[in-house]
Amino acid sequence: MLVHAGLLALACLTSCAGPSQSLSPEERAEIGKYLAVRRALLAEYEEPLDGQLLADKALIGMFEGLDAHSEYFPAYAVGNDLDGTWQSAGLELVVVNDAPHVLYPIRSETADGQERSDAMDAGVQVGDRIIAVNGYTFADPAHMAARSLASASLERGLRLDLRSPDDMERQIGFKPERPKNQHVRWVRVLDRSKRLGYIYLAAFNETAATEFRAALKSLPQLGIEHFILDLRGNPGGDLQAFGVIADCFLQGGLLVSQEFARTGQQIESRANLSSISQSTKLVLLVDAETASAAELLAATLRERRGVPIVGQKTYGKGVFQVVRTFADGSSFRITAGSMTPPSGLSFNKRGIAPDRQVYVDESLAALLRRSLRRSEPPQHLQHAAEQFLLRHGRDERIGPDPERDETLRVGLDLLRDLCAEE
């Protein structure tokens, strides 16, 4: 598998290479071997095979035996886990009795701040079972139904075959517009009298930095002066997004040091001007799945600004990857070096210990992460969605809830104490 994968990688690189990127005779010979094997499998194997799936499996195999963070991602990579957020389709799904159901259409906003949802406008309802997507059922081994959900857009559109809770079947078509907030969620007031609030940051990808800045600008309008930044379940992501977000809190100085393993090249990133008043009190929440750029942000803010950390010890990923993307949407990432916060102390394979440890059962911690990572529902559908979960044996609240979340409660008490010290 590793050999075939290597050959396929060269074939892919050939198709994506520019005119100046020529292949050596050895590389051409290897690609020829790969093509011969692929053609034989497609033409002669006892059962029909999908050429694209063969290619994806070969490339996935190329990364076997490497570190846990180097990986190949097929175009619209999907698996069997349908429970969660499908941003492209504008839907939050939940698996009930081994079948995907609509938990709710994801909330978006119009320019004047009104709630909207393309799926909701088309008639998608809480509890609808999804039978097929664009004609594909979820029994398809190529995962075409899930791929269709992942690749939905205004241009492609989406056609859903649905069965309502009262067993009425219908077909709905709509063109989903990607919801505005993909990574910054649940900007909320927690204590109005003390002007305390909350922000959940799900990842450092794509539009996270722009969304985070917009969330900060909204805090005064919500009456929030001090807040909790929740990084639980945040796997990290783009270091550029990390830099922009960290820059919001710090007035100059070092943010992160990177070192490339092969060349020894070192890069330092520094802050510019803080957009948040230095008098603003802040508490960070972390857990065992807070990783990479999220750990880096926690370490940097604690070292540079004395921000306290509440929760559980973090994952411990102090390495960074370079990413390459092909024209079909597939991509791969390769671990290229290490990164450290301003102190120079590595948290790789060690994690970051919180200032206030909160012991939470892992099953409960996973439930809380799933609740927080869900996109925001239209307000009038949140209760119905929670009732749907409860009817199917899942006592799960959607969004932050200090009464049921011990880590959040401890963080909120600490934030109150910090404000009382002024």
pLDDT along the chain (422 residues), means of 10: 36 44 85 90 92 87 92 71 78 89 81 70 92 89 78 78 94 80 86 96 89 92 96 93 93 92 93 81 96 97 96 96 86 95 96 96 86 86 92 86 93 95 72
Q: Are residues 278 and 391 in the same domain?
A: yes
Number of structural domains in the chain: 3
What pLDDT is stored for residue 283 in this prediction? 98
Neighbours of 295 (CB within 10 A): 26
Q: Rounded distance, CA 279 to CA 225, Å?
A: 9
Q: Are residues 168 and 193 in the same domain?
A: no
Q: Are residues 402 and 266 in the same domain?
A: yes
Q: Are residues 327 and 403 in the same domain?
A: yes
Domain boundary among 123, 154, 174: 174
Q: Are residues 272 and 345 in the same domain?
A: yes
Residue 72 falls inside a structural domain: no
Residue 411 falls inside a structural domain: yes
Neighbours of 279 (CB within 10 A): 8
Q: Are residues 314 and 411 in the same domain?
A: yes
Residue 76 falls inside a structural domain: no
Q: 186 and 400 in contact (C-beta within 8 Å)?
A: yes
Q: Are residues 133 and 194 in the same domain?
A: no
Q: What is the pTM of this model?
A: 0.86
Q: Are residues 168 and 194 in the same domain?
A: no
Residue 145 falls inside a structural domain: yes
Contacts of 93 (CB under 8 A, 6+ apart): 82, 83, 84, 85, 86, 100, 101, 102, 103, 130
Q: Rounded distance, CA 47 to CA 290, Å?
A: 44
Q: Are residues 118 and 192 in the same domain?
A: no
- DSSP H or E stretch at residue 102: strand 99-105
Residue among 349, 290, 297, 344 nearest 319 (CA): 349
Q: Rounded distance, CA 2 to CA 61, Å?
A: 6
Domain encompassing residue 303: 184-420
Residue 74 falls inside a structural domain: no
**Which two structure tokens, joined as six digits, stand for 224?**
């929030």
What pLDDT is stored for residue 346 in this prediction? 96
Q: Are residues 266 and 338 in the same domain?
A: yes
